[in-house]
Chains A and B, each alone.
Chain A
Amino acid sequence: MGGFRQDVEAAVPALRRYARALTRDAELADDLVQDTLVRALRSEHLFHGGDVRSWLYTILTNLNRNRLRALARRPTMTAIDDNDAPDLAGPEAGGRDIERALASLVEDQRTALLLVVLEGLTYREVAEVQGVPIGTVMSRLSRARVQVKDYLDGKRPALRRVK
């Protein structure tokens, strides 16, 4: 039991990182992490071994998907924390670009890309988190990478012109 809690606790920093990249909103991300942890603690007795970390990623991914569905149902709703920081120049601009490129992805592709690239999950683990066959993960990953490239390519000429 103690081991379970320790594993959950150890996963918090990575969950926060994943949630931040997934939502690109610090408050929203931490709310997702909190909901994930509360759910995990509540269903501790449901957990019969296996990888706690993957299980937490699964909960967070599902919660985020539900959040987006709920948002889609209510198009007029505005987020409280709309911290749309102004565009920055310099090294930060690159970070903004990748952020926007991620935002341009459909949810399942973004999830797959982030779980692989940022969280270091294997393709098999991502397949379990997303509840799909590995082939589907591969095609999501592949499409995500093409889309990110297309997005960044579309941006680059505009940036070059500034020079």
Chain B
Amino acid sequence: MIDRNSPVTTDELHAYVDGVLPADRRTAVEAWLATHPEDAAHVAEWRAQAIAIRARYGAVAQEPTPERFELDRLARTGRGWRAIAAAAIAAALIGGVAGWLAHGASAAAPSGLEQFTSEALSAHKLYTAEVRHPIEVRAGEEHLLPWLSRRVGTTLRAPDLESYSLKLLGGRLLPGPNGPAALFMYETPAGERYTFYCSRSKAERTALRYSAAGAAGAVLWVESDIGYVVSGPAERSRLFDIAQTAYEQLESRAPTRSSENQIISRRGS
């Protein structure tokens, strides 16, 4: 039986503040605080901290949930993962779930992807501002895609974004974070420019993610070791829609693994 008058421990003071102290000890703590002003000051301080933290961040949970968190959408974007997940599960069963999570996350550490997006956005800002030479090779020229595909090392496609009134102007080759990068430029009749950036990624696959830098926004995803970034005016929902369309087009016409490899080996020879 616990002595109601036994000295109060620091852990109990914390538990008291956090409301997880058993009722019988609560009375003991209250009696203790009445005669121990120093501990009472700690308790008051910790309570004030908790109130400040809740005041600062509590409202986030009241915000309407953004569209990007719709589970159906996320499950769709994450499709194709099953095979990889199956391998990961085997690892998880051996190494423990925490180990697996740590492993999975390191493959797609946001920091590397931030760097990737940042390069795509720099290219976007630099070349969309170009009046006379926004591109190197025009869309009508047949060698545009074969050339950029060969240099990036995968079969590239420029998505058809006509449904957003975006017309493909053409593309150019750039140095990317992990090798050559291709940049395709699109324009609306009003002169608004969007770019589609593709290059090798160190991550294998990720879901769509949005970032913004000033007036420009970008949506990045990674599929089969290639990172894609759609950049344009920082209008999140529109960029997400465009990226989703591009993603679906690439996914439905994705090249087989072997044809990719052929291009890579041809490039090496």
Contacts and interface: CB of A to CB of B under 8 A. Distances in A.
Interface of A: 5, 8-9, 12-14, 16-17, 20-21, 27-28, 30-35, 37-39, 41-43, 45-46, 58-59, 62-63, 65-67, 69-71, 74, 77-81, 94-95, 97-99, 101-102, 113-114, 116-118, 122-123, 131, 138, 141-142, 145, 148-149, 152
Given A13-B60, A63-B105, A142-B10, A34 B74 contact: yes
A42 B98 contact: no
A17 B97 CA distance: 24
Interface residues of B, number: 62
Given A33-B69, A80-B118, A81-B211, A98 B52 contact: yes
B81 interface: yes
Contacts of A145: 14, 42, 45-46, 49
Nearest to A41: B75
Interface string B94-126: 000110011011101111101101100100000
Interface in B42-96: 42, 45-46, 49-50, 52-58, 60-63, 65-66, 68-69, 71, 74-75, 77-78, 81-82, 85, 88-89, 92
Contacts of B15: 123
The 5 closest A-B pairs by CB, nearest first: A70-B109, A66-B105, A13-B61, A17-B60, A98-B52
B106 A66 contact: yes
A80 B112 CA distance: 11
A123 B209 contact: no
Contacts, number: 164
Given A59-B101, A81-B212, 10 more contacts: A16-B61, A32-B110, A34-B68, A37-B74, A43-B89, A58-B101, A67-B105, A69-B106, A78-B118, A142-B11
A122 B122 CA distance: 45
Interface of B: 10-11, 14-15, 18, 20, 42, 45-46, 49-50, 52-58, 60-63, 65-66, 68-69, 71, 74-75, 77-78, 81-82, 85, 88-89, 92, 97-98, 101-102, 104-106, 108-112, 114-115, 117-118, 121, 206-207, 209-213, 218
